[in-house]
Structure 1
Amino acid sequence: MADLRDDPYDSDTAAGAAGDIDAHTLTDPATDTAPVSSAERARVLLAAHPVIDGHNSLAPTLLRRRGAGHSHDLDQGESALDTDMPRIRAGALGAQYWSLQADGDAAGEGRAISTTLELIDLVRELIASCPESLRLALGAGDLADARNCGRVASLLGPVSGRAMGDSLATLRALHFLGVRVLALAGARWADDGLTRFGQEAVREMNRLGVIVDLTGASEETARATFAVTKAPAMFSHGGGDVPDGILELLRANSGVCMVSFARAASLCAVADRVERVRDVAGPQCVGLSGTYGHEARTPRTAGLEDASCYPHLITELLERGWDDTAITDLTWGNAARVLRDTEFLARAAQGRRSPSTATIDELDAARR
C-alpha cells in the first residue's frame, strides 16, 4: 500500500517526536529523573499528535433540534449537547469526521439524498461560523494545514450509501461537494455482499478518493468489498463488534478500525476494545471514534462522557504499557495514512480509468 510521507504528523514524525518527549519532557525538572504521571504524558503526546476522530453525529442532532426551534453556539458551548469547541479543545482533537448520515425516518421516507444535502449545508455553515476554530478539509494535506493554523480539520462524511440514490453520478456530485467517506450499509446493492453495481460503486469510490466505510455492513459485504477495493477501507465507528476474520482482512487491506466509546461498561472496557483491535488487525490499523454529537442526557461510558475525555483513554493505555509511537499512530498516524493512501491511489486510478457511466439497471438487471 502506498504511503506518502508528506504529513508532518504522520507516524514517522510521531516516532521522532515521541523520542524527544521521552528524553526531555517526561521527567521532573527538579530531579531530571523522576517520570511524570501518565496523565501528563498523555497531555504532552496529544499536544503534538492530536486525535483524528472517525465519527461525530452533531450535524444530524442539530438538524433535528433546528426543526424544534433550538440553536447551538459551537464556539461558546452548550450544556445540552456533548460536543462544542471548549470540549473539543480540551479533548485534543486535531481532526473530525462529521457524520452526514440521515436518520432512519428520513431514509424511509425517500429523503436520504435531500437530507444529506441539508446536512452538508449545515456542516459547511457550522465551519464558516467558527473560522478561528474549524477548517474544512478535503484531503490529507489539509489535516496538517489546519493543525498548523490551530484549527480542527473538518472532514465531510460518512454519508449513507442510500444517499447515492443508486447513481454513480450522484456519488461524483457528493465528492464534488466535499464528501470523503461513504458507508455501504443501507444501500440495496451492498446488502449481503456486493452486486455488480456495488462492485462498480466501490471502484468509482477508489477512483474519486472516497473512503469506503464498512460500519454496519454485513460480513458478506465486508468480504466482498475487500476483494474489490484497491484503497484502504475504514470502520468509522463501532469497531468492538467487528469479527476477527474481518479485522484480519482489514490488516491485509491496510485500513483502519476506529473504535467507538459508546455503550461500553467502563473506560477500561473501551481500552480492552482498542487493544483487541490492535492485537487482531495490527497496531497500524486502529484508531478512535468518540461517537459524540448527541444530547448530553444520552447514556455515556463513565469517564468518556463528552468530547473532552479522549485524554482519559490515552492515560489508561499508557498505564497499560503502550509506547509513544503506538499512541501517536492510534490518535493521528493511522487515520491520516488511510486518507493519504486513498488520495494517492485515486490519482493513479484517474490516469487509467474514466468516470463510470454504468447504471444499476444495466448491471443488476438479472437480479430483478
Structure 2
Amino acid sequence: MTDMPASAPTTPPEPDGSSLERARAVLAEHPLVDGHNDLPWAAREQTGYDFDALDIAARVPTTQTDLPRLAEGGVGGQFWSVFVPSTLQGDAAVAATLEQVDGVHRMIATYAGRLALARTADEVERANASGRLASLLGAEGGHSIGCSLGTLRMLHVLGVRYLTLTHNDNTPWADSATDVPVVGGLSAFGREVVTEMNRLGMMVDLSHVAATTMRAALETTVAPVIFSHSSALALCDTPRNVPDDVLAALPANGGVCMVTFVPEFVSPATAAWRLEAAAAAAEVGVEARDWEAFGRFTAGWQVEHPKPDATIEQVVAHLEHVREVAGIDHVGIGGDYDGTDTFPVGLEDVSGYPRLVAALLERSWSRADVAQLVRGNTLRVMRDVEAVARDLQTTRAPSLATFAELDGTA
C-alpha cells in the first residue's frame, strides 16, 4: 500500500465582505439549528463535566465549541449528542448515557443565562426569543437503550429528542453502516423501536446505520426521519453517507438529511486516507469501528501519513447534491464538532458557519433557501414528529414488547 501524498496547507479565500455581511444577517434573522455536536463527550473526557475547569463562557483551546464561538457562528439551536461509544454495551452503555444526559442538563443550568433546554420546536423559538441558545439532546446509538423500550421512554422524559439507531457497531436489532450485517436492516424489535419512537415524538436518526436499515426504517416509520450528521454517498463513497435512492425517498417521508462537515465523509481523498488508515490499524489489531482506539491509532499514524484537507466548496457540493436529489425542504446541517479531529479549511470550529452561508449566497442560494437549510427544515420536521406523536398517543398505548419476545433470544 502506498502512502497518501501529504496535502499542502491551504487557506481558502475569505468570502467577499458583502457576502459575509449578508450571511451574518441571514443567521441573525434565522439562527442556525445544528443537528449534532459532541461537546458533552469532550467535557466528560477532559474534566468529568466540571464546567469550572472547562468554562465554555470563554474561548476553550481544547474544544471546537464554546459559547463565544457559537455566537459568532450564528447558532441558535444545538442538538448536543449524549453519545457513548458502542464498545460499551448493556447496563454500562445505559449508565454512561444517563451520565451524559446529566452532564448536558448541568451544563444548561451552569450557563442558564445563555442556554435553555428545548424539547419542542416551540421551545426552540422561545429560547431564541429570550436571547438564549436552545439546547436539545440526541442519543447516538441504539446501544444506549439496552434493548429496552422502557429505557427509550425514560430518555424521552429526560429530554432526548432523537435516537440514532446504531453507532459504529450493530445493535442486536439494527445493522450499522460500519459493521458486518446481521439482521438485514431492522429486526422485528428494531421495527418496534421505530414505532415506539413515533408514538413518543422522538425523531428516528439514520446516520451511522446501514443502507438496508435506512430503507427498513423508512418503510416502518409514520413520522419524518432525520440524518443528524451524514453527507451524500454519490459524492464521497463511504458507508456513512446516504445513497441517492434514500435521499429521493425523503420528500414522501418528510425527513431531512443534515449534511456533516467530517472530512472523511466530505472529501474522496480524505475517505481514501481513512481506508488506508483502517488497513494499517487492522495490521496491529485495531478495528476502525472502535471509535476511541482508532482515534488513538490515527493520531500517531497521520504524523507520517498526513490527512488530506477538505474544503468548504466540497461541503457546498454535498448540500447542493442533497438539494438536487431530495429537494430544498429536506436538507440541513449537522457539523459534528468535537466529534472528530479535523474539519474543512475555514470550518475548523463552530464560528465558521457564516463562511459556509456566504459561499452559498455567492452561488445564488436565495435567502429563503438558506433560511430553510439552517433552521426551517429542522423545526418543521420537529413539529411534524410532534404532531404524529399527539395523534398516536390517542390510539396507541406504550409498547410492552421485549427483545426476547420479538426476536426470539434473551
Normalising by the smaller structure, the TM-score range is 0.7 to 0.9
**Structure 2 contact 42–63 (Cα < 8 Å) conserved:** no
Quote the offset at 1:239 in angstroms. 2.1
Which amino acid is 2:171 matched to?
Answer: A
Structure 1 position 325, deviation (Å): 0.8
Alignment-derived partner of residue 188 in structure 1: 172
State whether residues 158 and 213 of structure 1, in contact with CA within 8 Å, keep that contact through their aligned partners in structure 2.
Answer: no
Q: C-alpha separation between the residues in 1 aligned to 2:89 and 2:221?
A: 29
Structure 1 residues 79-158: aligned runs within 5 Å: 79-105=61-87, 107-108=88-89, 111-158=92-139
Which residue identity is paired with 1:102?
V
Q: Partner of 2:44 in structure 1?
A: 63
- Could you tell me which residue of structure 2 aligns to residue 342 of structure 1? 385
How far apart in 2 are the matches of 1:344 and 1:210?
Answer: 11
Of 224, 232, 236, 2:216 maps to: 224
Deviation at 1:187, TM superposition (A): 2.2
Does the CA-based 8 Å contact 1:97-1:158 persist in structure 2? Answer: no
Answer yes or no: is the 8 Å Cα contact 1:207–1:345 preserved in 2.
yes
Q: Which amino acid aligns with 1:53?
A: D
- Structure 1 stretches of 4+ with a deviation exceeding 3 A read 67-70
Residue identity in the other structure for 2:185: G
Where does structure 1 lack aligned partners over 5 or more consecutive residues? Answer: 1-34
* Structure 2 match to 1:244: 244
Whether the 8 Å contact between 2:43 and 2:49 is mirrored in structure 1 is no
Alignment pair present for 1:272 and 2:317:
yes
The residue type paired with residue 234 of structure 1 is I
Rounded to whole Å, the distance in 1 between the matches of 2:49 and 2:162 is 29
Give 1:251 deviation, angstroms.
2.4
- Asked if structure 2 preserves the Cα contact closer than 8 Å seen for 1:116 and 1:159, the reply is no
Quick one: which of 349, 360, 363 aligns to 2:403?
360
Superposed CA RMSD? 1.9
Q: For each residue in 1:272-316, what CA deviation from the matched residue of structure 2 results, as whole angstroms up to 9, or x when unmatched?
A: 111111111110000011211258xx2221000100000000000
Report SS of the residue matched to 1:277: helix
Range with greater deviation from structure 2 (315-324 or 37-46): 37-46
TM-score when normalising by structure 2? 0.78
Q: Deviations along 1:56-91, whole A, 9 cap, x unmatched?
A: 001011111125999310112211211000000000
Distance 1:259 1:201, change over 3 A: same
**Secondary structure of the residue that 1:308 maps to in structure 2?**
helix
SS in 1 for 2:160: coil
Does residue 198 (structure 1) correspond to residue 209 (structure 2)? The answer is no
Per the alignment, do residues 151 and 67 of structure 1 end up closer, same or farther by CA in structure 2, a change over 3 Å counting?
closer
Is contact 1:257–1:287 with CA below 8 Å preserved after alignment? Answer: yes
- Distance of 2:229 and 2:172 partners within structure 1: 21
Percent same amino acid among aligned pairs? 44
CA distance in 1, matches of 2:28, 2:344: 24
Q: Distance in 1 between matches of 2:356 and 2:19?
A: 11
Please tell me whether the aligned partners of residues 193 and 221 of structure 1 are also in contact (alpha carbons under 8 angstroms). Answer: yes
Quick check: 2:86–2:141 contact (8 Å CA) kept in 1? no
Which has the bigger relative contact order, CA under 8 A and spacing at least 6? Answer: 1
CA contact (8 A) 2:201 2:388 kept: yes
Name stretches of at least 5 consecutive residues in structure 2 with no aligned partner. Answer: 1-15, 176-183, 233-240, 267-309
Structure 1: how far apart are the matches of 2:129 and 2:26? 16
Partner of 2:212, secondary structure, is: helix
Query: Is the contact between residue 179 and residue 210 of structure 1 (CA under 8 Å) also seen in structure 2?
Result: yes
Tell which deviates more after alignment, 184-193 or 312-321: 184-193
CA distance in 2, matches of 1:75, 1:129: 10
Query: TM-score when scaled to structure 1?
Result: 0.86
